[in-house]
Structure 1
Amino acid sequence: MQAATTRALQESEESLNAIFDAGPDAMLISNNEGIIVLASRQVEPILGYKPKELLGQSIELLVPDAYRQEHAEHRNQYIASPTTRLMGQRREITARHKDGNECTVEIGLSQISSAIGVFVASSIRDIRDRKSAEDAVRAHAEKLRYLYELSPLGIVLTDMEGRYLEFNQAFEKICGYSAGELRALDYWQLTPRKYEDAEKKILDDLACTGHYGPYEKEYVRKDGTVVPLRLNGAQVAASNGEKFIWSIVEDISSRKQSEDKIRELAFFDHLTGLPNRALLHDLLRRAISSSQRSEMFGALLLIDLDNFKTINDTRGHTVGDQVLTKVAELLKKSVRNDDIVARLGGDEFVVVLVHLDSEINDAAGSVKEIAEKILDVLDHRIQLGNSSFQCTASIGASLFRGAETTQEDLIKQADLAMYRAKAMGRNTISFFDPTMEAAVLARATLEQELRIALDENQFTLYYQPQISKTKEVIGVEALIRWLHPNRGLVAPDGFIEVAEETGLILSMGHWVLHTACLQLSRWAKMPEFEDLTLAVNVSAHQFGQADFATQVQAILLTTGANPYRLKLELTESVLMVNAKEIAAKMSSLKSLGVGFSLDDFGTGYSSLSYLKLLPIDQLKIDRSFVRDVLLDPNDAAIARTIIALAHSLQLSVIAEGVETQDQQKFLDTAECDSYQGYLFSKPLPIDEFEKFHSDA
């Protein structure tokens, strides 16, 4: 068999040898019994054998003793089933050299099937030089790894998506995360969003130049604290073209703390920690610029403590400093987070109020409110240890919007107003602009007059009829009017807003409800009026009282009014505060027989959920839709939709502000249930309404 094989191979020996010897690898061909039948010349420099020495030898001759038995088993498996390729993939193995030593080679196998049998071709590559190079690279890498791990700077490798791939212990310490945690994160999960634009520029720099930095930013550590960083980096590419970023990350907390300390000494008052005069000018400049962009008023308040010199003279400057520190603390608590509190020096403080309002009167009103809060806080005795001190103040105020007035002029104006406040008796506020002061005074006067009006019962109710489709009066809406002793009859637009803001609406609303129920009780004894319903508007403040339902029940009991004839009109703003609490109040009153109408429907949030969940009886189409129902297709569509929605939910619907017959005809066509408006009657005093109803 061996002779036949040899003769067959010898026929092409010269051509095979030419092919074998042309390649860099050693080539062996063995039969299915593992006997070597051909060997190329490259065998000798790799394994030490001359080709002739291997012919007729078992392939196991080249396998170290420790692997020989295992090798024979794998060879047999490969011969039997070459598709498994257990030995057919090029890989590193340990071979036995002629001198008995082991050497590492790379081998590839391929099976050859022929008419004379199955053979295995082995390609053996000398990788000693490569292994030596790899060992050298590995040693160099170990040195780099040593430096990498011992570096006090964070070193991190990220992909272009920002995922952390490699990093040293210093980087872990900077971030506060473990290695496993970091590999599950990317830099966006540590980077505050305020750096989005800066990060985009970094990526642009990398694309253009291949590097970035130095660049300062912050990371949010695992414990939630913020650490300031300084970064430098470069973009690198892998052999497959994929790009990565190496970054050096330096914790600059200590440097920042030093800078902050220097800045604090330069721009902050050493006693109170508030911005000093130098920083105030910069902050005020920004506030003025912001007001110009937003077109909203801001204000500068100059606050001078009254008779502070007496404290210094009688109790000493140490106690005086403690009082100033306490005043600074109280001022910061008295204003909003965006507002600025600064100390000019001595006992003078400045408060800069920002984003007040776009309307000058409203802005002035807000300034007065905040200033009065400050005066009230300071007017209370300041407690320091076992001692207390009375510490009132005089406040001068100057409003600004944009750069019409310079910083210096604003401070001068506020200073003049402050001295005027002192001349007025101290412990008060004075506006630089007489017009603004007049507006604030008018508002204060209106508030005082409203209080007097409540005490002296200067209010009355007017009644506007509500008409059915058959032109019958089915109810009325009670509307408050103020019988002012000097200005005559005042409509709600002239005082309701102030009543809401001052809380007087609670007393006013209680009076309206009580008076309306008295009228219902009176009508119950008059056959032609006993079936009328009476609608009363309830404000959000009023309905928001915890005991509102109890108040209504008490009024019904004391007046004897029929709860089934009372209808409370609520706006959508009332329903959007606390759905659970609102539902409880409404259900409590509904159980007594009180009805509910949803006023101004369609002008607010108009959530269908509260129509489903709350015990509402009626929707009221707002006059803004009714007014243009014949002119604006959108208003027409909204009106039809509200009517259809109400009917689908088994609710009645009433349209307010009906002024023309054409409007009524449109609403009739849309199947509106009832109407209210000047087409039928304006709001009337009680005697005129009763005559109107009797004549109808």
Structure 2
Amino acid sequence: MNTKLNSLGVYIAIAMLVALCLPVVLALTVLNGVREKQIGIEMQALVNEKAQTMQHSLVLPVWSLDKSDINAVLQGAMLDPQVVSAEITDPDEKIIARVEDGQRRLGNIISRSVPLVMQQNHQNVSLGSLQLIVSDYQLQRKLAADKSFHTLVLLAQAVASLIIIGLLVYRRILRPIGMLTAATERIERGSFDERIAIPQQDEIGQLARHMESMQSSLKALFDEQAAILGNIPAGVLFVRDGSIVFVNEAAQALLGSADRNLVGQPAEEVFVEPAQQAAYVAQAVARSSGAAGEIVLLRRGDGGSFPAELHTSLIDPARPADQIWVVIDVSARLDAENRIDRLAFYDPVTQLPNKTLFMDRLRRGLARRRSNGTAGAVFVMEISRADLSYGGASSEEIEQLLVECARRFSGCVTPEQTVARLEGAKFALGSEIRTQDLDECLRFCEALAHRIIATFTDPHALAAARFPCAVNLGINIVHDDHHGAAELLMQAELAMVQSRLAGRNTFRFFDPAMQALANQRSLLEAELRQAVAQRQFIVYYQPQVTYEGEVVGAEALLRWKHPEKGIVAPGGFISVAEDMGLMEQIGQQALHAICGDLQAWQRQGLAHELVVAVNVSAQEFKVDNFVGRFREIIGKYRLHSHALKVELTESMMVDHVEDVIAKMQMLRSSDISISLDDFGTGYSSLAYLGRFPIDQIKIDQSFVREMEKDAAMASIVRSIIMLGQSLNLSIIAEGVETQQQRDLLHAQGCSLYQGYWYGKPMPGEQFVELLTTPDRFR
């Protein structure tokens, strides 16, 4: 509908109609105006003439008051249909006679009044006046009839002119233009065979001949392009607005099928991963150079896939939605390259990377390690078996063993790690370690070494090879930039030689210091297991004192009573115990000891109001039944729940927040108070403090130690105290070593202290003596 309304024919018809009708309207308007003026003049003349005639005819009848003559004159005047009424009045304006036809009061009314005067004795005697009213209704009717006639005549002329001109315009302009439009639409669809036959010799005919010449040139150009596209081996696709609008035979053969025509399909459907690769191609096309030779995975018409080299560019930079894609199947080329690569970089027996590829990856890993600051590890692993050394095994058996060993090694590593065969029965492993901490590097390498050795000590692991074997590992941790790849591999081999001297299925570290540290850790782990089994852990207590010197609480601190080393502080074994998963058992033993001491003291009449703070590790707190077990142990010793206080660190409140809050609320519901230890050293304090149901915050000793000489530290302490007070929390400061520190804390609003000023952590026997002398700190 909009196309028809916007056509050139409609515009021309409207223009012609306006051009022909406008003069008609103007002519009618002017003619009617002139005629109406004439009617007005005629009516004025008529009423004047009638009034004068009747004035002369009525003087004598009025003088003699001859009503019959008066009426006769008046009736004679009414014979004119334009006269509406006539009225005679005396000098006193009394009506003498009056005639009127009310039906004539149509149209414009003109009234005229003239005096009736008679001359007597040379004087004018007034007899009254005559008032005559006339209407132009009759003339207006005649004017209307004339208007209709003139309008019909002029409109007939306009219509006739419009038809004649319209036929000429249609024949000479509109029909040829319509033929040209149809021809352009046909050319747009790619049809060039039909001629543009417009024989006229005017400008439109000249345009038609030029268009026919252009059509011939386009046909020749398209035929040449079709011949090129149909004979090149690469697939060519034209993509417009995300849909395929053209494919050549090669593209149809690569991507389509007999029952699947690609034209009209979304372009992204040709990819195996449509959304991801289509977005990548869109970004590549947006570059000025387009996508030149990008390797993508395309989908065949039968559902299979193949790698292809994709070249994309814009057909017209002004229309980014119009693109040309050239697809080249590179399956055979990539297969050949892969075969060459495997021969050059992979071991033909085990199919693992060979030494060349391993050294290349090791160099790349060292470069990455320098940029991201992580550590790395190089393992050298040697397979040993008695008959390998003197040639007792056949080549087939050796290959079977090597393949099985390669499979076992590969099963122990992640895709980011590299296992390679160096030579003979010697293998290598390279791994990145996402830390620079030496202890963590050692733990990582030990765990991986144990995992590898476990695959060789399993009696069923090498069943396919039909004979047993052992493995020795040399480990070199890379944590500096002083050595190259070749030197690092050589150091790992030296460590492997040391491992071989230590016996089968063992591993050694290259650095003697590392080896000593690893041996020390292994010994510590064994001793910790023995300590848990023999309950070697004891509890020390450090008093918590008010400003007035009253001991109201104590912090229970774990100690290990080593049979040879004596008392060992937590820093010497807690982290290892956490790594070994022993903290739950150790924490339960400590809680039993604390509850036993409290029960004994209360039987002596002491510590009834004492609150002992129990440090709980993150590993203990994460146990599902932690709260139930805690309450069970307290109940076993028949203690009030408020006699114990749980101390948690800020770091425990970062992960699994909702679970932490739920457990804390369960503790609070059992009248077990909660203290937040080392407050201010974490990164969640202010964000989470309001959410956690805690009763007390403990100012970390690092702030207390520096507050006297560092104004910033003092400000932090003051802020912590104000924050705790605003939340109605108890405040305790640890690490109070001087009276000045205590007084400064008291001035800021902290009235509970713990530190060497009051006493170092002490055994229960010594602490109970402190309870028996309550005035010691007053």
Q: TM-score, normalised by structure 1?
A: 0.72
1:132 is matched with 212
Q: Once the 2 structures are TM-superposed, how far is the Cα of residue 533 of structure 1 from its aligned partner?
A: 0.9
Match of residue 677, structure 1, among 755, 759, 771: 755
Q: Once the 2 structures are TM-superposed, how far is the Cα of residue 479 of structure 1 from its aligned partner?
A: 0.7
| Residue 482 to residue 102, structure 1, CA distance change in 2 (3 Å) | closer
Where in structure 2 are the equivalents of 1:201-280 lying within 5 Å? 203=287, 206=288, 211=289, 214-218=292-296, 230-232=309-311, 248-280=326-358
1:60 is matched with 167
1:511 is matched with 589
Matched residues in 2 for 1:199 and 1:338: separation? 29
Q: Assess if the C-alpha contact under 8 Å between 1:312 and 1:319 holds in 2.
A: no
1:285 is matched with 363
Matched, 1:501 2:579: yes
Q: Once the 2 structures are TM-superposed, how far is the Cα of residue 33 of structure 1 from its aligned partner?
A: 8.9
| Residue 322 to residue 32, structure 1, CA distance change in 2 (3 Å) | same
Matched residues in 2 for 1:124 and 1:194: separation? 49
2:518 is matched with 440
Q: Assess if the C-alpha contact under 8 Å between 2:442 and 2:518 holds in 1.
A: yes
Q: Assess if the C-alpha contact under 8 Å between 2:387 and 2:393 holds in 1.
A: no
| Residue 466 to residue 329, structure 1, CA distance change in 2 (3 Å) | farther
Matched residues in 1 for 2:300 and 2:615: separation? 54
| Residue 307 to residue 663, structure 1, CA distance change in 2 (3 Å) | same
Where in structure 2 are the equivalents of 1:362-377 lying within 5 Å? 362-377=440-455
Contiguous gaps of at least 5 residues in structure 2: 1-11, 24-160, 184-194
Q: Aligned with 1:63: secondary structure?
A: helix
Matched residues in 2 for 1:220 and 1:667: separation? 72
1:421 is matched with 499
Matched residues in 2 for 1:232 and 1:611: separation? 58
1:480 is matched with 558
Q: Once the 2 structures are TM-superposed, how far is the Cα of residue 425 of structure 1 from its aligned partner?
A: 2.3
Matched residues in 2 for 1:261 and 1:459: separation? 63
Q: Aligned with 1:524: secondary structure?
A: helix
Of residues 587-596 and 273-282 in structure 1, the stretch that sits farther from structure 2 once superposed is 587-596
1:306 is matched with 384
Q: Aligned with 2:476: secondary structure?
A: strand
Residue type at the aligned position of 2:170? V
1:350 is matched with 428
Matched residues in 2 for 1:178 and 1:528: separation? 93
Q: Aligned with 1:687: secondary structure?
A: helix
Q: Aligned with 1:692: secondary structure?
A: helix
Who wins on radius of gyration, i.e. which is larger?
A: 2
Q: Assess if the C-alpha contact under 8 Å between 1:218 and 1:226 holds in 2.
A: no
Matched residues in 2 for 1:692 and 1:560: separation? 24
Matched, 1:547 2:654: no
Residue type at the aligned position of 1:559? Y
Matched residues in 2 for 1:530 and 1:222: separation? 83
Q: Assess if the C-alpha contact under 8 Å between 1:305 and 1:391 holds in 2.
A: yes
Answer 1 or 2: which has greater helix percent. Answer: 2
Q: Once the 2 structures are TM-superposed, how far is the Cα of residue 320 of structure 1 from its aligned partner?
A: 5.0
| Residue 374 to residue 524, structure 1, CA distance change in 2 (3 Å) | same
| Residue 445 to residue 248, structure 1, CA distance change in 2 (3 Å) | same
Matched residues in 1 for 2:361 and 2:280: separation? 21
Q: Assess if the C-alpha contact under 8 Å between 1:299 and 1:354 holds in 2.
A: yes
Q: Assess if the C-alpha contact under 8 Å between 2:471 and 2:505 holds in 1.
A: yes
Where in structure 2 are the equivalents of 1:35-434 lying within 5 Å? 57-63=164-170, 127-133=207-213, 135-136=215-216, 139=219, 143=223, 144=225, 153=234, 155=236, 168-169=246-247, 170=251, 181-182=266-267, 190=276, 203=287, 206=288, 211=289, 214-218=292-296, 230-232=309-311, 248-294=326-372, 296-307=374-385, 309=387, 318=396, 320-355=398-433, 357-360=435-438, 362-383=440-461, 390-402=468-480, 404-434=482-512
Matched residues in 2 for 1:220 and 1:668: separation? 75
Where in structure 2 are the equivalents of 1:625-664 lying within 5 Å? 625-632=703-710, 634-664=712-742
Matched residues in 2 for 1:562 and 1:437: separation? 50
Of residues 362-371 and 302-311 in structure 1, the stretch that sits farther from structure 2 once superposed is 302-311
Contiguous gaps of at least 5 residues in structure 1: 1-25, 38-53, 69-86, 95-100, 107-122
Residue type at the aligned position of 1:131? M
Matched, 1:538 2:645: no
Q: Once the 2 structures are TM-superposed, how far is the Cα of residue 552 of structure 1 from its aligned partner?
A: 1.6
| Residue 212 to residue 515, structure 1, CA distance change in 2 (3 Å) | same
| Residue 283 to residue 56, structure 1, CA distance change in 2 (3 Å) | closer
Matched residues in 2 for 1:338 and 1:525: separation? 62
2:68 is matched with none
Q: Once the 2 structures are TM-superposed, how far is the Cα of residue 463 of structure 1 from its aligned partner?
A: 0.9
Match of residue 581, structure 1, among 639, 647, 659: 659
Q: Once the 2 structures are TM-superposed, how far is the Cα of residue 369 of structure 1 from its aligned partner?
A: 3.0
Matched residues in 2 for 1:540 and 1:253: separation? 55
Matched residues in 1 for 2:668 and 2:489: separation? 59
Matched residues in 2 for 1:171 and 1:538: separation? 70
Matched, 1:598 2:676: yes
| Residue 231 to residue 680, structure 1, CA distance change in 2 (3 Å) | same
Q: Aligned with 1:534: secondary structure?
A: strand
Residue type at the aligned position of 2:699? I
Matched residues in 2 for 1:105 and 1:426: separation? 104
Q: Assess if the C-alpha contact under 8 Å between 2:255 and 2:300 holds in 1.
A: no
| Residue 311 to residue 628, structure 1, CA distance change in 2 (3 Å) | same
Q: Assess if the C-alpha contact under 8 Å between 1:92 and 1:105 holds in 2.
A: no
Matched residues in 2 for 1:194 and 1:232: separation? 12
Q: What's the CA shift string for 1:149-182, capped at 9, x where partnerless?
A: 99764656799xxx85876554998799996755
Matched residues in 2 for 1:505 and 1:282: separation? 44
| Residue 139 to residue 628, structure 1, CA distance change in 2 (3 Å) | farther
Q: Once the 2 structures are TM-superposed, how far is the Cα of residue 452 of structure 1 from its aligned partner?
A: 3.0
Q: Assess if the C-alpha contact under 8 Å between 1:285 and 1:407 holds in 2.
A: yes
Of residues 253-262 and 435-444 in structure 1, the stretch that sits farther from structure 2 once superposed is 253-262
Q: Aligned with 1:682: secondary structure?
A: coil
Matched residues in 2 for 1:520 and 1:225: separation? 75
Residue type at the aligned position of 1:59? G
Q: Once the 2 structures are TM-superposed, how far is the Cα of residue 379 of structure 1 from its aligned partner?
A: 1.2
Q: Once the 2 structures are TM-superposed, how far is the Cα of residue 341 of structure 1 from its aligned partner?
A: 1.1
Matched residues in 2 for 1:222 and 1:659: separation? 79
Matched residues in 2 for 1:167 and 1:635: separation? 72
Matched residues in 2 for 1:527 and 1:105: separation? 129
Residue type at the aligned position of 2:517? A
Q: What's the CA shift string for 1:655-694, capped at 9, x where partnerless?
A: 2223344443443344335332223322222233233342
Q: TM-score, normalised by structure 2?
A: 0.65
Q: Assess if the C-alpha contact under 8 Å between 1:93 and 1:105 holds in 2.
A: no
Q: Aligned with 2:556: secondary structure?
A: strand
Q: Once the 2 structures are TM-superposed, how far is the Cα of residue 401 of structure 1 from its aligned partner?
A: 3.9
Q: Once the 2 structures are TM-superposed, how far is the Cα of residue 453 of structure 1 from its aligned partner?
A: 2.9
Q: Aligned with 1:127: secondary structure?
A: helix
Matched residues in 2 for 1:595 and 1:174: separation? 71
Q: What's the CA shift string for 1:473-497, capped at 9, x where partnerless?
A: 2211111122334433322222222
1:98 is matched with none
Q: Once the 2 structures are TM-superposed, how far is the Cα of residue 436 of structure 1 from its aligned partner?
A: 2.1
Q: Aligned with 1:672: secondary structure?
A: coil
| Residue 226 to residue 487, structure 1, CA distance change in 2 (3 Å) | farther
Matched residues in 2 for 1:317 and 1:466: separation? 76
Q: Once the 2 structures are TM-superposed, how far is the Cα of residue 128 of structure 1 from its aligned partner?
A: 0.7
Q: Once the 2 structures are TM-superposed, how far is the Cα of residue 569 of structure 1 from its aligned partner?
A: 1.4
Matched residues in 2 for 1:526 and 1:271: separation? 79
Q: Assess if the C-alpha contact under 8 Å between 1:164 and 1:185 holds in 2.
A: no
Q: Once the 2 structures are TM-superposed, how far is the Cα of residue 282 of structure 1 from its aligned partner?
A: 1.3
Matched residues in 2 for 1:654 and 1:226: separation? 69
Residue type at the aligned position of 1:261? R
Q: Assess if the C-alpha contact under 8 Å between 2:243 and 2:266 holds in 1.
A: no
